[in-house]
């Protein structure tokens, strides 16, 4: 691992900022820097899986990554990294819990997905429209309240009606979501763990590419 990757994996915020500044200053291209950051995020994921890191470390690394992206983004070429899998994510209609969804969105960006975050209280139609617009192949829905199960189901049904259901994989997440909820909504997977969600999405993406 490069110094930058391990600084991120070790949550050393200032060191990450310093190295990025140095590397960009000496003419390294921002795509190369981003690749190193992603390796760092992958390492964070590994440590989480081994039980060395907790959700809190995922959060902190995600914030460091976000700050780094603010520096990199202006110089990143739009399609510099080749085609990335597109994920549409949001907290479903009637629910305004944002924290879990935000964490997952950041982690997905961290490992290289192109994420369209629709925010909270997202109407069914907005999910469908975004899938049509972006041709995303993955939809992630978050919800923490029991009435959100119905919103999730309605969204899956609307994807069906729009003829998109066999083109997208759907994952639902949030502290109340269980297998029972997955069955009820017709989603393809469920999780109450951000990293597990990222792993599932990675697998789907590897299969479809």
Partner 1 sequence: MTADTIDTRLARVKAAIDLKPPDHTPVCLSLDYKFVYRYKGLKQADYFRNRGLGGRSGSSLFIDVFNELGGWDFVGAGGNTTRVRDILEAPMIIRVPGKDIPEDEVIQWEEVEVLTHEHYDQIIKVGWIKFMDDFYPRFRGYDPAEYRARIDARAVKELAAMKPGQEMWNRMGYPVQGGGDVFSPLMMLSTARTMIKFTVDLYRIPDKVQAVMDAMIDDLITLSIKACKAAGVGGPYGIPTKSVILERGGGFVYPLKIFERFEFPYLKKMVNAFVNEGITPILHFDSDWTLNMPYLKELPHRKFFIQLDSKTDIFKTKEILRDTCCIMGDVAPSLLSLGTKEEVGAYCRKLIDVVGKGGGLILGVGCGVPVDSKFENLKMMIDTAREYNPHHT
Binding site for partner 1 (CB under 8 A): 11, 13, 53-57, 59-60, 63, 94-99, 102-103, 145-147, 149, 175-178, 180-181, 184, 192
Pairing relationship of beta strands 138-142 and 114-117 according to DSSP bridges: unpaired
Quickly tell me which residue has 């590419």 as its tokens: 209
Q: Is the dihedral of CA 194, 90, 149, 187 positive or negative?
A: negative
Task: State the binding string over 52-91 for ligand B12 (x if CB under 6 A, else -).
Answer: ---x---------------------------------x--
Among partner 1, ligand B12, none, the one that 31 touches (CB under a kind-dependent 5 to 8 A) is: none
Task: Say whether residue 197 binds ligand B12 (CB under 6 A).
Answer: yes
Least spacing, CB of residue 40 vs partner 1, in Å? 16
Task: Name the 3-class secondary structure at 12.
Answer: coil
User: What is the Cα–Cα distance from 86 to 136, expressed in whole angstroms?
Assistant: 5
Nearer to partner 1, 30 or 155 (CB): 155
Pairing relationship of beta strands 138-142 and 86-91 according to DSSP bridges: parallel
Contacts of 161 (CB under 8 A, 6+ apart): none
The residues that touch ligand B12, with contacts defined as CB under 6 A, are 55, 89, 97, 99-101, 103-104, 140-142, 144-146, 171, 173-176, 191-194, 197
């Amino acid at each position: 691992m490069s110094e930058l990757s391990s600084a991120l994996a070790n949550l050393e915020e200032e060191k990450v900022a310093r190295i990025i500044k140095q590397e960009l200053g000496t003419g390294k291209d921002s795509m190369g820097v981003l690749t190193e950051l992603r390796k760092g995020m992958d390492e964070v994921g590994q440590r989480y899986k081994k039980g060395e890191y907790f959700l809190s470390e995922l959060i902190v690394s995600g914030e460091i990554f976000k700050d780094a992206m603010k520096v990199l983004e202006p110089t990143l070429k739009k399609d510099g990294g080749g085609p990335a899998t597109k994920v549409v994510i949001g907290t479903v209609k009637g629910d305004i819990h944002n924290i879990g969804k935000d964490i997952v969105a950041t982690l997905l960006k961290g490992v290289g997905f192109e994420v369209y975050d629709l925010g909270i209280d997202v109407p069914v139609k907005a999910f469908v429209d975004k899938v049509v617009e972006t041709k995303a192949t993955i939809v992630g829905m978050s919800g923490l309240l029991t009435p959100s199960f119905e919103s999730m189901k309605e969204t899956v049904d609307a994807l069906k009606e729009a003829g998109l259901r066999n083109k997208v994989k759907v994952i639902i997440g949030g502290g109340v979501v269980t297998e029972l909820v997955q069955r009820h909504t017709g989603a393809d997977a469920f999780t109450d763990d951000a990293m597990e969600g990222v792993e599932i999405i990675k697998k789907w993406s590897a299969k479809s590419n």
